[in-house]
């Protein structure tokens, strides 16, 4: 097994360049992971044993090249939505404004200028790292005026990849935050995919998809599909869930593939979004759905300030740091 990397030029100049980590076996690509450092260090395209499992070029070029928030963007410091584009923390109210416009959806990292390091290829993996700092005078300071640094790494293995993060509070006061990965998965039109989703409860949400503060224990984790999975195309959701500390599993019977999504314990929440079954992207080249592990729920800072428990909100003291990771493990399901 040989690990390496290459750059493929994008239509948006260096902003749209794809940095490809790969694992090669007997002159064939066993696995690839595509990273767009010029678009917020997002990923877009994971290949395993000749099949794409996340949106990849060229089929998804229009979306991946045209939308920094499409693919698998990094959600920081406010995963998903914030009520009225404002949050209150320790009695102070902050308006999330960037470049003169509201900017609360999915946080601020996904369309920011990151620093990144050239990938490295080792004997058992290939890796690429990136760093984002929020400081006075930077593009995100108005939206999130807390001195901090976010470092991430993507590490490709022969049968999957790992996303790893570290957040450091560089300021002199407490800092609230959350981290998430908005990972999209694909299947051929009509291809059955099943989900095993170990949720404790669903966050009740408003029509604007904002949590009300109530938890509803109505999710059935066992379906009638393979290994107790639920057919993804039967779900019509854009909903956060409070999770058990177990793997989330995706099952692709036609491909003989099981994907285990294994976050560290700080990822207490996951959002399920099924746009294809809801008719949201009728011209999509493949069926599309999202499984989004997050360290906190939607609008977590406001809910925490209001006294809601189990938001998952992380709070760092001055000089403190925290880290975590998500593993995506690919395996043959029925050997």
* pLDDT tens digits along 256-281: 999 999 999 999 999 999 999 998 98
Rounded distance between C-alpha atoms, residue 187 and residue 290, angstroms: 12
Average pLDDT over residues 187-205: 95
| CA nearest to 183, candidates 75, 266, 107 | 75
Rg (CA), the chain: 19
What's the confidence (pLDDT) of residue 149? 98
Whether 104 has a pLDDT exceeding 70, the answer reads: yes
pLDDT above 70 as % of the chain: 98
pLDDT value at residue 218: 73
Rounded to an integer, the average pLDDT of 220-246 is 88
Domain positions in the chain: 2-332
Q: Give 66's contacts (C-beta < 8 A, 6+ positions apart).
A: none
Compute the residue count for the chain. 335
pLDDT tens-digit map of 47-56: 999 999 999 9
Q: Residue 41's pLDDT band (boundaries 50, 70, 90)?
A: very high
Neighbours of 74 (CB within 10 A): 25
Task: Output the CA torsion sign for 301, 305, 310, 312.
Answer: positive
Residue 15, pLDDT score = 86
Per-residue tokens: 49: 């044993």
Architecture, CATH, for domain 2-332: Distorted Sandwich (2.70)
pTM listed for this prediction: 0.96
Which of 333, 332, 3 minimizes the C-alpha distance to 154? 3
Q: What is the mean pLDDT of residues 8-14?
A: 80
**Are the C-beta atoms of 29 and 23 separated by less than 8 Å?**
yes
**Which range is least confidently modeled, 101-105, 159-163, 185-189, 293-297?**
101-105
Averaged over 61-74, what is the pLDDT?
94
**Burial class of residue 166 in the structure, from the number of CB atoms within 10 Å of its CB (0-12 exposed, 13-18 middle, 19+ buried):** middle
Angle at 241 between CA 163 and CA 36, to 5 degrees: 30
């Amino acid at each position: 097994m040989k690990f390496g990397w290459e750059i493929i030029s994008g239509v948006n100049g260096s902003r749209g360049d794809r940095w490809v980590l790969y694992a090669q076996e007997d002159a064939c690509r066993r696995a690839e992971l595509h990273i767009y450092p010029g678009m917020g260090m997002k990923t877009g395209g994971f290949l395993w044993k000749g099949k794409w499992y996340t949106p990849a070029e060229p089929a998804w070029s229009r979306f991946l090249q045209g939308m920094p928030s499409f693919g698998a963007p990094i959600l920081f410091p406010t995963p998903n939505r914030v009520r009225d584009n404002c949050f209150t923390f320790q009695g102070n109210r902050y308006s999330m404004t960037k470049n003169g416009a509201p900017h609360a959806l999915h946080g601020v990292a996904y369309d920011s200028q990151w620093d990144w390091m050239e990938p490295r290829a080792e004997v058992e993996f290939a890796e690429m790292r990136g760093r984002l700092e929020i400081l006075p005078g930077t593009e995100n300071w108005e939206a999130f005026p807390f001195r901090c640094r976010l470092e991430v790494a993507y590490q490709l293995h022969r049968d999957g990849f790992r996303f790893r993060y570290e957040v450091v509070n560089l300021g002199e006061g407490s800092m609230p935050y959350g981290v998430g990965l908005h990972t999209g998965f694909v299947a051929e039109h009509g291809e059955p995919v099943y989900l095993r989703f170990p949720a404790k409860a669903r966050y009740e949400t408003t029509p604007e998809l904002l949590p009300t503060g109530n938890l509803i224990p109505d999710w059935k984790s066992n379906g009638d599909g393979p290994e107790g999975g639920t057919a993804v195309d039967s779900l019509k959701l854009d909903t956060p869930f409070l999770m058990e500390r177990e793997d989330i599993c995706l099952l692709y019977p036609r491909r003989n593939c099981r994907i285990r999504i294994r976050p560290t314990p700080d990822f207490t929440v996951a959002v399920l979004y099924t746009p294809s079954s809801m008719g949201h992207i009728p011209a999509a080249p493949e069926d599309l759905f999202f499984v989004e592990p997050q360290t906190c729920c939607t609008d977590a800072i406001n809910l925490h300030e209001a006294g809601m428990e189990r938001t998952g909100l992380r709070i760092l003291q001055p000089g403190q740091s925290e880290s975590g990771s998500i593993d995506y493990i690919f395996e043959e399901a029925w050997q």
